[in-house]
Structure 1
Amino acid sequence: MSDVRESEGLTLLGNQGTSYPTDYDPGVLETFQNNHLDRDYMVTFRCPEFTTLCPITGQPDFATLYINYIPHIRMVESKSLKLYLFSFRNHGDFHEDVTNVIVNDLAKLMEPKYLEVRGLFYPRGGISIYPFANWAHPDFGYAELARTRMFEQLSDLDRGDGTR
C-alpha cells in the first residue's frame, strides 16, 4: 500500500497526523491514476456535512453536496477531497459561488470527461438553495449530457431528497 501511495504522490491517505485547513485551500487536493481507461464510469461522492459561511452575515450554511464525475486519466483521492471541502468551513461565499468554485477546482485538477456538483443547502430564513454546476471536457462528447443534466436535476429535486 505504501508503494502505491508513494508512486502516486499521495501524502494524506493513511496519515494519522492530519491537519485540517482553516480556510479555502484547493492545494490539499490530490489525485491518483484511473486504472480503467478502457471504459467510462461514474464516480459519486455524497458529502452530507458540508459547511461554509454566509459572506454577508458570517452565519454558517449547511449542505449536502453531490459530486459526480466520469474520470479520464486522474481521479481525486477521497481524503484530500474531504480536507478540501472542510477548508470551506470558515470561508465566506454564496452557495452558487461555492458550487462553481468546486466544479472549477476539480475540473482543473483532474480534467475529467464530465463533472457535476449539486449543493442541497438547508433552509435558513425559510428558503433552501440548490445550486447545480457542471462541466464537460470538449474532447469526449459529453456536452449534450451537460446541457441535459442542467435541467434534469430540477425534476430530481421534486423527490425532495435531491437524489435520483
Structure 2
Amino acid sequence: MTSGRDQKELTGVSLLGNKTKYPTDYAPEVLEAFINKHPSNDYFVKFNCPEFTSLCPMTGQPDFAAIYISYVPDQKLVESKSLKLYLFSFRNHG
C-alpha cells in the first residue's frame, strides 16, 4: 500500500480508492478518521478550502467563504477526502 498504512490502520476509512458519490445536502456522516501513527509527536495538520460555498439561510442566495483548518491531532486524524465531501455537502444547505 503506497500510503504506508495497512488495512487495520485504515479501519473506518471507506472513501479512498472508491468512486465518489457527492452529497446533495448536509452530510456529517461522510466524515471519517484514521488512527494517528505518531500520537506522542505534536505536529500541525492543515487543510485549506478557498472556495467554500453554501446557501444563505436568510435569502437562499449563494454564500462564499475561505476556510482554513489547522489542528494538532491526538489519537486520530480527519481523512481529507471525507472532509472535502463534508464541506461540499453545505453547497445546497442553508
Shorter-chain TM-score: what band? 0.7 to 0.9
Instruction: Number of aligned residue pairs: give it.
Output: 91
Q: How does 1:10-29 map to 2 (within 5 A)?
A: 10-15=13-18, 17-29=19-31
Superposition deviation, residue 12 in structure 1: 0.3
Going by fraction, where is helix more abundant, 1 or 2?
1
Q: TM-score, normalized by length of structure 2?
A: 0.88
Q: 2:11 aligns with which of 8, 28, 51?
A: 8
Distance 1:5 1:29 in 2: 18
Cross-structure match for 1:43: 45
CA RMSD of aligned residues (A): 1.7
Q: TM-score, normalized by length of structure 1?
A: 0.52
**Quick one: structure 1 residues 54 and 72, their matched pair in 2 at CA, closer, same or farther if it must change by over 3 Å?**
same
SS in 1 for 2:6: helix
* Partner amino acid, structure 1, of 2:25: D
Cross-structure match for 1:130: none
Gaps of 5+ in 2: none
SS in 1 for 2:54: strand
* Partner amino acid, structure 2, of 1:13: L
Correspondence 1:62 to 2:34: no
When Rg is computed on C-alpha atoms for both structures, the one with the higher figure is 1
Higher relative contact order (CA 8 A, sep 6+): 2
* Partner amino acid, structure 1, of 2:64: F
Gaps of 5+ in 1: 93-164
**Contact (CA 8 Å) 1:43, 1:71: kept in 2 or not?**
yes
